[in-house]
Structure 1
Amino acid sequence: MVEMSQNAIVRLGRWLGLGPNPLRRRWDRIEAAGRVTALIGLVVSVVAGIIVATGAYQAHERAVQSEARSSQPATARLLTDPAMMNPPPAASSGRAAGSGFAQARWTAPDGSVRQGTIPAAAVWRAGQDVTIRVDANGTPVGDNRANRFTPLSAVMMAISFPIGASALLWLALLGLRALVERRTLREWEDEWRTVEPRWRKRII
């Protein structure tokens, strides 16, 4: 196992162009620098993904806690299925029409019965009792559907950063490799045009 790990490290070092190599040409060094840069970029993307996902999750949790402090739970009975409704313009920003909202009836903190449109999960059905949060006036607040920003959502966000970065860096390395091959071939051709006449004279 240790030997396999050492071999993997050696192969990685060779791929990155580390270590002395008298046969390495200028464009080989440029390609090696590109590989090192890509590896650093991948590590940075992993760290950036973790930082962004952690910050987003913490911001969401702070918003949820703030909402919890300024509201209280209430039981609402759905009067319609969520898929049977089109959300009103004021509530449908960024949401698909025909889903995500339902008519419901609930009791406000002052004891009065209220009726209106609330966010609803697609699996909810008319006649079902669900828990929502309302302010002191009995108005629903926040998004009460089961689509909270969970730790799993944060993990997926953190993973998406290095995945996207890997795709971009791989394309960049492919482009650099093609450029290096073209330049190296051109240099070999130029050098051969210089050397070939001398060799021909010696052979003749």
Structure 2
Amino acid sequence: MRRLTSRRRRRWLWRWRSNPLRRRDDVVETWIVLAMWVVIGLGGTLVGVVTAQAAEASFAQLRHDRHSARVVLVENTTRAVQTGEGATYRHVRAKVRWTAPDGSVRTGRAPVDSGRNAGSRVTVWLDSNGQFTEKPPAAKAAAVEAGTLGTGAALAFGGLVFAAGRLAQWRLDQRRYDRWGREWDQVGPRWGRRTT
């Protein structure tokens, strides 16, 4: 068992072993691969956490800035509109009236549930400027969305780093192929007649 483990370790660490056939480009490629995976692991984690925290702070700010208000419908709202695919539009824009914090009476068009009669009291959401807006995401939904955004950012960062690492490896391969071609041009004629 110990022999099998040491054989696996040697195979896994083949790039680091001393070898007379190892070229300078092989060592460079080894460091590129190592750096690429370290940056993906550490940098991806950092990018994901920072993105998730920024998104969570943004959602918290939305919850702080937006507030609900009870308004009175000025007009009847139409029933839910059925679409051809079976989806139903449950919200319509309707004229509403409400009293602002300064005591003035205001009117405007707000998204409300369909099928309501004039005079009904409904809840709408206003931003800090008093403009109608959407309901802010709940804390749990915001946490899930922030986590999703953080994961997406980490994966995107990891993909970019991986692509950059693969590009560097490709450039090293091209350099090796060019060197092999030049060496073959020097050594090949000494081997006698070519078959191509």
Q: Provide TM-score, normalisation by structure 1.
A: 0.59
2:17 pairs with 1:20: yes
Indicate which of 71, 79, 83 corresponds to 1:76.
71
The change in CA–CA distance for 1:179 and 1:110 in structure 2 (over 3 A counts) is closer
Offset, 1:103: 2.9
Equivalent position of 1:36 in the other structure: 34
Number of residues paired by the alignment?
167
Q: Identify the residue that residue 54 of structure 1 maps to in structure 2.
A: 53
Q: Which has the higher contact order (CA 8 A, sep 6+)?
A: 2
The residue number in structure 2 matching 1:91 is: none
Once the 2 structures are TM-superposed, how far is the Cα of residue 50 of structure 1 from its aligned partner?
Answer: 0.9
Same amino acid, percent of matched pairs: 19
- Which ranges in structure 2 are unaligned for 5 or more consecutive residues? 1-5, 82-90
Q: Hey, which of these two has a bigger chunk of strand by percent? A: 2
C-alpha distance in structure 1 between counterparts of 2:136 and 2:168, whole Å: 46
Tell me which of 167, 175, 178 is aligned to 2:167. Answer: 175
The whole-number CA distance in structure 2 between the counterparts of 1:179 and 1:114 is 66
Q: 2:46 aligns to what SS in structure 1?
A: helix
2:142 matched to 1:150?
yes
State how far apart, in whole Å, the 1-side matches of 2:154 and 2:27 are. Answer: 25
Deviates more, 1:150-159 or 1:168-177: 168-177
Residues 35-58 of structure 1 show CA distances to partners (whole Å, capped at 9, x for unaligned) of: 222213312022122112213312
Choose the corresponding residue for 2:125, options 122, 129, 132. 132
Question: Contact between 1:77 and 1:106, CA under 8 Å: does it hold in 2?
Answer: yes
Distance in 2, Cα, partners of 1:164 & 1:175: 16
Correspondence 1:75-94 to 2 at 5 A: 75-77=70-72, 79=75, 80=77
**1:134 to 1:77, Cα distance in 2 relative to 1, 3 A:** farther
Cα pair distance change 1:77/1:46, threshold 3 Å: farther
Write the distance in 2 (CA, Å) between the matches of 1:134 and 1:170.
Answer: 42
